[in-house]
Amino acid sequence: MTQRQAALEGRITSAMKHAARREGLDPEVIRQGLARGAVVIPANKGHKGLKPVAIGEGVRVKINANIGTSPHDVSLDKEKAKLAAALQYGADAVMDLSTGGDLDDIRTTLLAQCPAPFGTVPIYQVMTQARSLEEVKGDWFLDMVEHHARQGVDFVTVHCGVTRKAVPLLKNRVTGVVSRGGSFTVAWMRRHGKENPLYEHYDRLLDIARKYDVTLSLGDGLRPGCLADATDKAQLHELKILGDLTKRAWAQGVQVMVEGPGHLPLHAIKKNVRLQQKYCHNAPFYVLGPLVTDVASGYDHIAGAIGGALAATLGAAFLCYVTPAEHLKLPEVEDVIDGVVASRIAAHAADIARGLPGAGDWDLKMSKARRALDWDTQIKLSINPVKARRYREISRAIEDQCTMCGRFCAMKVFDEKFEAE
């Protein structure tokens, strides 16, 4: 039985209880969210050691960190270090997007070390194993999802909405298809003259998802890869299909999230969130960024934090981090940390803005520590205490001052301690 099926039957599972405790909520609230489809708890029955997390309406905005090898950069040790860093710095979920090395070994090793919900993109493994487009059979798309599900993966990105009808809509795009899974699916459909197997055989996909309680993350394979392509026909065509597929999944007791862009100008974020809510019936919205400019290479975590904070304030439930390496190279551990921290800032800012109860407590504690010039507490409460401590130490600071203001510290002057020194 899936979390959704249990919720629909009025049963509160241990996963619901655990997820509710982390939010300080009554498990019944989580159950109702699951039953409505507005909340998911990605929790594969085979993921040992999982600490379940709720994603969706009424809970803290969650963030995902993508890790994984590439054909040019294969090191299990490095991926383990990225996983550890992502978890240490506060990622709520992790996706292994490996495309280089022994993918099964990498995946099962990382999954075993990951108490957070663990996601994958099964089609990447199809791509890495295929020597040509021709040899890829339609069944492979689904078999690979089951393969991952059997290994205990909690959620999978499946590009079910990339259909043959959408292909002509891509004609005038500036950047075409920027999703690897999306582009592979389009190329496969063209070459084989067939429909996307994940769309055509969606009921079989639902059977797999239900069997393992794998949450489907309906991928936006046609997401805009630049501001100029944002909210275009191809994107909206896919989004509408994802809405239909959401309802079909719900009817089969399967948990669903819907993925979103990508690159969006800031003023288009509201429209995009509203359209997703409308077309996809308030299924949790999982956004990649969105990036509010195309030119921030090296700093896309910042462009993504701007878009993510706004999207989440407007209702997006789940932010996929973006690292400074985006558009340039595979992220290193330092990039993972920068990406996680930037996304957490965005998610936390949104929690406060949405009025989530208790969200501002952290800020209040920090502000009281600032007023008291209590540096130890300030550092402990910093979003990245390691960096805050390093900065404070570089600062060659004197007790209750920092090198920014020294004796002109506003806090001290306000207390009329101006001439004390």
Residue with Cβ nearer a copy of itself (62 or 392)? 392
Query: What number of chain residues touch a copy of itself (CB under 8 A)?
Result: 111
- Cα(393)–Cα(398) distance, integer angstroms: 10
The first and second tokens of residue 337, run together, are 């940390």
Which of the residues 183 through 242 are near a copy of itself (CB under 8 A)?
A: 183-184, 186-187, 190-191, 225-229
Measured from the CB of residue 285, what is the shortest distance to a copy of itself in angstroms? Answer: 17
Minimum distance, C-beta of residue 191 to a copy of itself, in the bound complex (Å): 7
Of 314, 319, 262, the C-alpha closest to 291 is 262
Is residue 151 part of the contact set for a copy of itself (CB under 8 A)? no
Using DSSP bridges, classify how beta strands 39-40 and 55-56 pair: parallel, antiparallel or unpaired. antiparallel
Answer yes or no whether residue 387 interacts with a copy of itself by CB under 8 A. yes
The three-class DSSP label of residue 243 is helix
In the chain, DSSP finds a helix count (H) and a strand count (E) of 18, 10
Q: Is the Cα torsion angle 162, 166, 169, 170 positive or negative in sign?
A: positive
The total of other beta-carbon atoms located within 10 Å of residue 290's CB is 31
Q: Which amino acid is at 89?
A: Y
Report the nearest approach of a copy of itself to the CB of residue 211 (Å): 29
Which residues fall within 8 angstroms of residue 125, CB to CB, at 6 or more apart? 103, 144, 147, 148
Site residues for a copy of itself, 100-129, by CB under 8 A, read 100, 124, 127-128
**Smallest separation (angstroms) from a copy of itself to the CB of 354:** 8
Tokens of 216: 């489907």
Closer Cβ to a copy of itself, 11 or 271, answer by number: 271
Site for a copy of itself in 287-326 (CB under 8 A): 292-299, 301-303, 305-306, 309-310, 313, 324-326
Window 354-383: contact mask with a copy of itself (x via CB under 8 A): xx----x-xxx-xxx-xx------xx-xxx
Considering only 236, 353, 356, 373, the residue that binds a copy of itself (CB under 8 A) is 353
Number of other CB atoms surrounding residue 418 within 10 Å: 12
Token digits of residue 308: 């993510």
Pick out residues in 60-89 that bind a copy of itself (CB under 8 A): 70-73
Instruction: Candidates 34, 61, 111, 346: give the one binding a copy of itself (CB under 8 A).
Output: 346
